[in-house]
């Protein structure tokens, strides 16, 4: 799924790591690296930002997803677990590609949301059997 997301995003040869963890682990990562002492659904660590940016241009970074949070969110929304997991993967990859809904402007947030909807519609058609909603 990550390969397809990268391809649709225009980066078919990019590299990244995807790590699936539980709430306890993502809370620890969130606390250690982002100074937020709480669990979350997805965290991205971009390799093309900061001091080491550009050393390996094809390496985008890491996406860490909490399976516990994804399962709860899917259940609450009445969606299949896989749908929520793929949406979080897409969300994390878009962050690695420079989209930002947290630190950017309202326009940047809308741009990210539109891109998520566009790509997730493709993923739903190809992998999830049609309309399975979105996060």
Picking from 37, 12, 33, 15, the residue whose alpha carbon sits closest to that of residue 24 is 37
Q: What is the pLDDT of residues 10-69, one digit of tens each?
A: 999 999 999 999 999 999 999 999 999 999 999 999 998 888 788 898 999 999 999 999
Residue 123 lies in a domain: yes
CATH code for the domain in which residue 103 is found: 3.40.390.30
Structural domain tally of the chain?
1
The predicted model scores a pTM of: 0.90
The residue range of the domain holding 79 is 1-128
Tokens of 85: 């997991």
Residue 45 φ then ψ, to 5° = -120, 105
Picking from 50, 77, 73, the residue whose alpha carbon sits closest to that of residue 61 is 50
Q: Answer yes or no: is 91 a known binding residue.
A: yes
Q: Answer yes or no: is 56 a known binding residue.
A: no
Residue 69 lies in a domain: yes
């Amino acid at each position: 799924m990550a390969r397809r997301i990268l391809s649709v995003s225009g980066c078919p040869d990019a590299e990244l790591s995807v790590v699936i963890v539980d709430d306890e682990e993502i809370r620890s990562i969130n606390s250690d690296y982002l100074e937020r002492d709480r669990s979350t659904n997805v965290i991205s660590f971009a390799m093309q930002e900061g001091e080491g940016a550009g050393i390996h241009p094809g390496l985008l970074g890491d996406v860490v997803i909490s399976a516990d949070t994804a399962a709860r969110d899917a259940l609450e929304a009445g969606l299949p677990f896989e749908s929520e997991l793929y949406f979080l993967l897409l969300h994390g990859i878009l962050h690695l590609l420079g989209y930002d809904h947290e630190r950017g402007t309202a326009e940047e947030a809308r741009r990210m949301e539109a891109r998520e909807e566009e790509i997730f519609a493709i993923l739903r058609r190809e992998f999830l059997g049609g309309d399975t909603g979105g996060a």
